[in-house]
Amino acid sequence: MHWNGDGQQSKKVWEQSLMDAFLGDLGSDGHGWTCVDSAREKPDFIYERAGLRVGVEITELLTCESGRERAGERNVAEIIREVVAQVVEEYGGRGAVVDAHLATLPRQRRDASEVGRQFEDHLRREGAPLARDRGVVTAPFRFKWGTVSRIHRQDDLRTIILLRDQRAHRTALTDRDPAWVEDRLIETVKGKVRKAQEYDLTHPLWLVVRNPYTHIAVVPEAAQRELCAANAGLFERVYCHNRKMNTLDASPPMPLVLRVF
């Protein structure tokens, strides 16, 4: 999220963009809804369709309040890019594509810096293919929080691009184990329920949780039971909206929208 000028206004614009994407991805169930009140909080919006009004609270598994994680992802990504850029430039190159996977995040910035030094040592040993354009390093660099699996020098790019998979062209750092996503979904619901007394209950409430990580195709029965218990009847519907962020795909796959009652 980019905060400039009025932070609250920027937050509302971001929430509205998430809501528009959600309704668009909901198919026929998302058609015909009109926002009748957006200048509010808890819930964030009131929507109406065919005389039915619902309050909608929208959030992300990675929210602006948990920006430390987002900053951590950016930090690790930049360290990987910087090390690759340095080595490629030393060989006279101008660009590369890096395939990587990040399973978790370092707790402190200095931990990530240490990974940078280890990654540089790895490329000093294994990076000879980067001496030529189109050269490919396939020796994986495994570190505490993930793996850099492949580096492909491509001078015509004139930049370093970090990807999860060259075919899918999605960023690596959104990869997560499905169980991690399920746990975060449950914790998000619990966090909202802890503020139940602050919600306007005039209309039925929906909670839309945007999942920018690995898509989950189904919520296991045990996790659904835990979700229902955590919800405690506050939200009539809880939607997990699978939608990747930072895709480079011209035609990204349509996200699957799950509904948990």
Average pLDDT of the residues in 248-258 = 46
Please list, in sequence order, all residues whose beta carbon lies within 8 angstroms of the beta carbon of residue 51, skipping any fewer than 6 positions away: none
For 172-197, the pLDDT digits (tens) are 456 677 888 888 899 999 999 999 99
Classified by CATH at the fold level, domain 7-61+177-260 comes out as: Trna Endonuclease; Chain: A, domain 1 (3.40.1350)
For 146-182, the pLDDT digits (tens) are 889 999 999 998 889 887 533 333 344 566 778 888 8
> Is the pTM of the predicted complex or chain greater than 0.75?
no
The more confident residue out of 258 and 6 is 258
CA–CA dist 86, 94 (Å, integer) = 10
Name the band, by pLDDT with cuts 50, 70 and 90, for residue 64: very low
pLDDT-above-90 percentage for the chain: 43
Query: Domain map of the chain by residue range?
Result: 7-61+177-260, 68-174
The single residue listed with the structure tokens 């405690």 is: 232
Name the band, by pLDDT with cuts 50, 70 and 90, for residue 13: confident
Please list, in sequence order, all residues whose beta carbon lies within 8 angstroms of the beta carbon of residue 67, skipping any fewer than 6 positions away: none
CA–CA dist 39, 22 (Å, integer) = 19
Q: If you compute the radius of gyration of the chain from its CA atoms, what whole number of angstroms results? A: 21
pLDDT of residue 168: 34
Which amino acid is it at 96? A
Would you say residue 106 has pLDDT above 70? no
Name the band, by pLDDT with cuts 50, 70 and 90, for residue 86: very high
CA-based nearest residue to 196, from 63, 62, 57, 65: 57
